[in-house]
Amino acid sequence: MKLTDVRYRCELSTLLNDMGLVGHAAEVGVASGAFSKTLLDTWKGELLYLVDLWEPRTCVNDGCNCDAEGQAKMYEECMDAIGPHKNRVKVLKGWSHEMTARVPDDSLECIYIDATHLFPWVMLDLHVWYPKLRFGGIFAGHDYVDPVQPGLEVKPAVDLFADHLGASLHIISENDQPNPSWAFIKESHCDLRPFGMPRPEIRD
């Protein structure tokens, strides 16, 4: 399988297996762990980082936030979902851009981003997680919605980032469902410094 053959995000695990990318990977933005389980059920990889705050984000209103009770429930559901694979999982609980400090550069073979969907936050995740991906790895994410909708501002951020890198962006259509994914292969070590570092406001 090639990246351009992938039509559903659940097929990413098969792609990773076929490409021999069976080391470490990360899912950034996990919620209840439904996609985590999908990956772990078929991916033959050694370790999957699960990165999520699992707490209310008072500074974010992207339609995906919920109160403390809801976040705690999602965390419990995630732990249940990944239970059979717990020996292949490392949970990083905190702000996604801060959790990069716990992951070595050039160490991941796939990164799937599905965290906060507002433009500056998406840009920040793209910017800080990309250096963690090894050459030849898969950089991907969810909710590449076109046209852009309130609270779903992934597409313009991904388009700008991919254009800066000169990356060949593949859209995973999910059979034309409303929330496609995006993906590309890291083919060069691009200097991100001219791109600038987004700084969304963070409040407790």
Residue pLDDT, tens place only, 154-200 = 999 999 999 888 899 999 988 667 789 999 999 876 666 555 555 55
pLDDT of residue 204: 43
Side chain identity, residue 183? A
CA–CA separation, 117 vs 99, rounded Å?
A: 18
SS3 38: helix
What's the whole-number average pLDDT of the chain?
Answer: 88
pLDDT of residue 64: 62
Q: Hey, where are the domains in the chain?
A: 3-191
pLDDT of residue 176: 66
Query: What are the tokens at 201?
Result: 């406001």
Yes or no: domain 3-191 corresponds to CATH 3.30.910.10: no
Yes or no: say if 140 and 111 are a contact pair by the CB < 8 Å rule: yes
Residue pLDDT, tens place only, 96-108 = 999 999 999 999 9
Which contiguous run of DSSP H or E holds residue 110? strand 108-113
SS3 171: strand
Say how far residue 15 (Cα) sits from the centre of its chain: 16
Which contiguous run of DSSP H or E holds residue 2? none
pLDDT of residue 148: 79
**How crowded is the C-beta side of 27, counted as CA atoms within 13 Å?**
25
In 3D space, the residue among 44, 41, 42, 66 whose CA is nearest the CA of residue 55 turns out to be 66
pLDDT of residue 70: 79
pLDDT of residue 150: 79
The parts of the chain modelled with pLDDT lower than 50 are 203-204
pLDDT of residue 146: 86
**In which residue are the tokens 């994914």 written?**
181
